Amino acid sequence: MSRVVDLPSSDHKVLSLIPAEYVAQRSGGFGLRRASVVDEIIYAATMGQLADETLYLSVRLLDYMLCKLWCDGMDILPEYYTITGLACLLVASQIEDTYPDQLEVSDIVSISNCQAEDICRMQNGVLMSLWSDGVSTDVWRPPTVFLHQLCGSLPDMPLGSRYHAFAKYLCELVLFDVSVLHLPSNIIAAAAVYMTRKIWLHDKDSWPAPLSDVSGVSKGELRRCGRVMADILRSIKRSECRTCFDAVVRKWEDADHHKWGTVVFE
């Protein structure tokens, strides 16, 4: 398969290669839909007063999802483009924005026509997609009573604490899509996203104790997962990938489709 660009080697080449066929087939209506989704992301990020870094990362996650699905022989139905973009924004907010300014599912529902269930399922899909590129997912099996324990412990956690925030986040994923319990890597992926911020921005171990207590995953495993997720996300944001994405965006640019979606990387 021919390629648009071959980036320098890296330990984690999540987005090192973008198929030329993918770019060739992404034209016309696709460019307009993508631009419209990015507009929705910008609107939601503005309403939520999110960091600029959150906006940029969410758009790159959107492109990552679109390209990954295409490489797997799948595509996102047009009606799910917006949901996918907003789910990427939620994941990006967990990484870039400081608590308590992170975006929540309820915030997305209040400013869009999307249903909470759809947002949560797609958010889970983004997490799983990221995680599947990092390591084997067969590392931990949640207990069958996990959902009961999680929901039962939530009222006893101090409101606004890291324990409460993480447990609430897991409850949203689990309650809207109980299949999360059948995929143990989902919980680890969610925990890894939560852990990534300090590791990524400050090169320090994040706060694994609350995540370990809530999820049942050992602190050592969480630290390892967090570092893997940080490496994956670094590879998405690194300058070489930006150049790669800009090349793809230029392929989509069109006089009729010149919106924020095509200039957000400027």
- Residue 110: the pLDDT is 78
- Residue 245: the pLDDT is 45
Q: How far apart are CA 198 and CA 179, in angstroms?
A: 29
CB-based contacts of 229, cutoff 8 Å, min separation 6: 130, 131, 134, 189, 192, 193, 195, 196
Q: What is the DSSP letter of 255?
A: G
Q: How far apart are CA 109 and CA 44, in angstroms?
A: 10
**SS in 3 state form for 20-87?**
HHHHHHCCCHHHHHHHHHHHHHHHHHHHCCCCHHHHHHHHHHHHHHHHHHHHCCCCCCHHHHHHHHHH
CB-based contacts of 232, cutoff 8 Å, min separation 6: 12, 14, 130, 133, 134
**β-sheet bridge partners, residue 3:** 19
Q: Give the type of residue at 117.
A: E
Q: How far apart are CA 134 and CA 17, in angstroms?
A: 16
Please give the chain's pLDDT, 266 residues, in tens: 222 223 233 323 333 345 566 656 665 566 677 778 888 888 888 887 887 778 878 887 887 777 776 666 666 666 778 888 888 888 888 777 665 666 777 777 777 777 877 777 787 777 767 655 544 434 333 444 455 555 566 667 677 666 666 666 666 665 555 555 555 556 666 666 666 554 444 455 555 666 677 666 677 776 666 666 556 555 555 544 444 444 444 444 443 333 333 333 33
Coil, strand or helix at 156: helix
Given a contact cutoff of 8 angstroms between Cβ atoms, the answer to whether 157 and 163 are in contact is yes
**What is the token pair recorded at 93?**
């907010």
Decide: residue 203, CB within 10 A, 0-12 exposed, 13-18 middle, 19+ buried.
exposed
- Residue 15: the pLDDT is 36
Distance in Å from the first CA to the final CA of the chain: 29
pTM above 0.85, yes or no: no
Q: Where are the domains of the chain?
A: 15-263
- Residue 256: the pLDDT is 39
Segment (H or E) for 6? strand 3-6
